[in-house]
Chains A and B, each alone.
Chain A
Amino acid sequence: MKIGVFVCHCGTNIAGTVDVERVSQAASKFPKVKHSASYKYMCSNPGQNLVKDAIKKHKLDRIVIASCSPSLHEKTFRKCVEAAGINPYLIEMANIREHCSWVHKDREKATQKAIELTRLAVSKVSRNKPLEKTYTTIEKKVLIIGGGISGIQAAIDIAFANYPAVIVEREPSIGGRMARFDKTFPTLDCAACILTPKMVTVSQSEHVTMHTYSEIEEVSGFVGNFTVKIRKKARSVDINKCTGCGACYNKCPVKVPSEFDMGLGKRKAIYTPFPQAVPNVPVIDRENCLYFKTKKCGICKKICTVGAIDYDMKDEVIEEKFGAIIVATGFNQFDHSVYGEYGYGKHKDMITGLHFERMVNSSGPTGGKIIRPSDGKEVRDVVFIQCVGSRDEQKGLPYCSRLCCMYTAKHALLLREHNKDSQAYVFYIDIRAAGKNYEEFVKKVQDEYGAIYLRGRVSRIFEKGGKLIVRGADTLSGAQIEIKADLVVLATGLVAQKDAPSLAQMLHIPYDKNNLFTEAHPKLAPVETITSGIFLTGACQSPKDIPDTVATASAASVKALGLMVQDKLAREPLIASVNQDLCSGCLACLKACPFSAIEEDEIEDRKLRRKRTVAKVREAVCTGCGNCTAVCRMAAIDLEGFTNTQIMEEVETL
């Protein structure tokens, strides 16, 4: 073994406090060190050449660079020694700048420490092993969970690059929340007008497969090679036969509140959630269908001319392989019934913003009329309350839901457009209109549409004389305010889907205390998760408006496509590996792995002359955290690059 040590002056950054020459001399006497040298800037071209030349001249096989933090130049020097013919994992760095010369003033002590740090690095490198990058194949197909605007956009982007995408949507139609909206801020184009063309594009794309009325059942595998089980719930209508004529739901005798219309309208027991549904194939709601309840009726089956109705249809579980997964599961609304001051959600004429969207929509349940749900009368005075649930650590959410300021402003505008005599009152805490043309939009609503903005909280809402009395504080004037409202619209915050944690557990991606999925890095990896190959888009990660949702959908698609275009996937070799002879098969490591990167394996035990279970690392999944190594009592699992031998050698050198 011939170790070379190279000590960097880093100008005066190191040399100013550390006697670099002495470090170099001391290092030359360390065991196995054949050569040591110092130079002004080791990372510069001449510096690197000095290393390369020395490797050739002295036939060095391992290198220690005593310089700055490895986070800066470890990669640089790996490349450097590789160019000189040494395996890039046979170098170590001694951090004598950040951890030494910059934090100590006493030259003698700093020099001593620098020598010891270099000694540590030498001892470690003496135990390094040459490592090779590993490669895995990639299944060229992307799974998109959720068929809202987020998932739709992602599918379009993936399909545009000629890669197959599969959308799994649990509702009978794609479209998600956006399909329920009337108009969109700040430009006021109608949601349907911009969404439906995209829905059609997706449905007609040869690269996109849609599984609507379906849910993810199980996910296994790892980046490039996910295996996913998808449950296709029994639709009771044959999707291949149905022509979408609508005769069945026209004749169906059962009426129930429509989920799509937030209970403001009715749908049939066989139904499509909305007229533009994609696919335009109805589904039977078996809980309410007379045939399923009483075995009588069967009108839909009789009337269907193509024989698409199939009462005996069963759930079907299919299994598919994917190279990447995009999670686009969207959001839910905050449940405002926790607020006693708002009447625990009991007032009939108090609705949420999403109800308002349905009401104001001309194809909605009221035909675009804004009415009081209690008596159906048209409204005049409407109070909008912002931050319902949001920014309330006591009873609600600690975070800002980001879009309520904007959609409330939009609602105030639409209210006036629908009814010239109406008056909007908006209670707010702060107006957060940070977006292109957003602030201008709010100003317009205030100035041109006469919405009265009141800065303060509502303390009580109660019914009196057929009206809702809204009492609150206007903190700007200091006055107590009481408004007799016909309708109160709550800008309820955005929350994670109820089953977000179970999906996250299935996917092995982290989620925060609000059940929102956690990105790999809040700034530098906002659509990645720490599980490679799984990406996030839209409001499942944090509340987002449509522009942000679409942007993250395209971002996630690019990330997924980045995988699709590779032939093989290179992985850092700094991962765990099992010495199966030492392994008892207790699987403590498997249970302690945050990434499910360990699986069971079976070996033929020569001593016992029988098969036994042992652990095995799934190299493509392992991230190299090393947690497994610390829970292994028999030290059968080790981490390359930070092996037990390397670390013990370092400690031994102390």
Chain B
Amino acid sequence: MIDQIKTKAKELLKTKKVDIVIGYKKASDRIGAIPAFIDKEGDIDKLIWDGYCVYNLSNYLKDFPGKKIGIVTKGCDAKSMTVLLQENQLKREDIFIIGIECSGIVDEKRKGGDIAYDERCKGCKPATPPIYDVLIKEEEKKQAPRLEQDPYESVRKLETKSIEEKFKFWQDEFSRCIRCYACRQICPLCYCPRCVAEQTQPAWFSKAVSVEGNFSWNVNRAMHLAGRCIDCGECERACPAGIPLRDINKKIEKDVKELFSYEAGVDTEQKPLFSSFDKNDPEDFIK
């Protein structure tokens, strides 16, 4: 199947349909995969495809303004492109999506070991990208059976805790936050020209590493991704402090699904969650 990707990439570059192809290449450790930016036909052989291709490449689309881009895209990553299209950040005609019907990626923490599905792949059922220009399927043998697992298992576990326990839990987790904003930088949907975290007029919340500053930043990040996050999991992967950010993202994902039947990244024509409403939205929390 890597041949299929290469063939397509070659064709795209040759016919000048795109200026650049974004895909994956081997990292220097010879195991992992890192993004590859190919603009010469000669470099096409660097392209790889395996379970280590974890990066959500859509994050790099904005780095090539005015260029036509071909991009290797997993199912989840294509959803973030759907949101980017929804939010006017991309032009569909500028990108050529080489969609991969992915059968799961490895858990990076177990690098070098056996291929095991990453936590976020469990419960991901339609691995087919919602949008693509060409679809390449993984080989039959790699299509290991997907676990029928509740994607919200760990959210539910946390929900049952008492208020004090919850606060304690998150306080501990957030206490490690060093406000490096790696979670933001890696997120394909955090594209604001100037993040509120860096604004001073007004200063929206404390920039200091403190309980309330860290809480505020993380609540802000989560709220800004409400109805947008497609759970590519890059934030959690990038977090040097190992904060379980996906547990926050999934919580909102679950809530908006339950409250408003809203799902992110499935339809480019969909209105943003907070820029729309239903007259019958629940309001049992309002006095």
B272 at the interface (CB under 8 A from A): yes
**A635 touching B204 in the complex, CB below 8 Å, given contacts A584-B89, A591-B271:** yes
Q: Which residues of chain B from 139 to 181 have a CB within 8 Å of any chain A CB?
A: none
B217 to chain A, nearest CB (A): 13
B196 to chain A: which residues have CB within 8 Å? 633-635
Identity of the chain B residue whose Cβ is nearest the Cβ of A648 in the assembled complex: B202
CB pair B88–A587 under 8 Å, yes or no, is yes
A583 at the interface (CB under 8 A from B): yes
Interface size on A, residues (CB 8 A): 24
Q: Which residues of chain B from 188 to 202 have a CB within 8 Å of any chain A CB?
A: 191-196, 199, 201-202
B53 to chain A, nearest CB (A): 28
Once the chains are docked, how many angstroms separate the CA of A645 from the CA of B203? 8
The secondary structure that dominates the B interface is: loop
CB pair B202–A644 under 8 Å, yes or no, is yes
CB pair B276–A591 under 8 Å, yes or no, is yes
CB pair A634–B194 under 8 Å, yes or no, is yes
**A631 touching B275 in the complex, CB below 8 Å, given contacts A583-B193, A584-B89:** yes
CB pair A648–B204 under 8 Å, yes or no, is yes
A592 at the interface (CB under 8 A from B): yes
The contact string, 1 if C-beta is below 8 Å from chain A, for chain B 249-287, is 000000000000000000000011011100000000000
CB pair A649–B202 under 8 Å, yes or no, is yes
Out of B202, B274, B276, name the residue touching A645 (CB < 8 Å): B202
The contact string, 1 if C-beta is below 8 Å from chain B, for chain A 615-644, is 000000000000000010111100000001
Identity of the chain B residue whose Cβ is nearest the Cβ of A644 in the assembled complex: B202
CB pair B276–A648 under 8 Å, yes or no, is no
CB pair B202–A584 under 8 Å, yes or no, is no
The contact string, 1 if C-beta is below 8 Å from chain A, for chain B 74-97, is 000000000000011100000000
A450 at the interface (CB under 8 A from B): no
CB pair B194–A588 under 8 Å, yes or no, is no
CB pair B275–A591 under 8 Å, yes or no, is yes
Out of B66, B192, B276, name the residue touching A584 (CB < 8 Å): B192
CB pair B87–A588 under 8 Å, yes or no, is yes
Once the chains are docked, how many angstroms separate the CA of A508 from the CA of B31? 58
CB pair A634–B87 under 8 Å, yes or no, is no
Once the chains are docked, how many angstroms separate the CA of A585 from the CA of B275? 14
Once the chains are docked, how many angstroms separate the CA of A201 from the CA of B229? 62
A582 at the interface (CB under 8 A from B): yes
A610 at the interface (CB under 8 A from B): yes
Q: Which of B89, B194, B201, B275 has the most CB of A within 10 A?
A: B275
The contact string, 1 if C-beta is below 8 Å from chain A, for chain B 15-39, is 0000000000000000000000000
Once the chains are docked, how many angstroms separate the CA of A590 from the CA of B88? 12
A654 to chain B, nearest CB (A): 14
A584 to chain B, nearest CB (A): 5
CB pair A584–B193 under 8 Å, yes or no, is yes
A601 to chain B, nearest CB (A): 12
A25 at the interface (CB under 8 A from B): no
B271 to chain A: which residues have CB within 8 Å? 591
Once the chains are docked, how many angstroms separate the CA of A591 from the CA of B274? 9
Identity of the chain B residue whose Cβ is nearest the Cβ of A587 in the assembled complex: B88
CB pair A586–B199 under 8 Å, yes or no, is no
18 A-B residue pairs with Cβ-Cβ distance under 8 Å, sorted by A, are: A581-B194, A582-B193, A584-B193, A585-B88, A586-B272, A588-B272, A591-B271, A591-B272, A591-B275, A592-B274, A608-B65, A610-B65, A633-B196, A634-B196, A635-B204, A644-B202, A648-B202, A648-B203
Chain A residues with CB under 8 Å of chain B are 581-592, 608, 610, 613, 631, 633-636, 644-645, 648-649
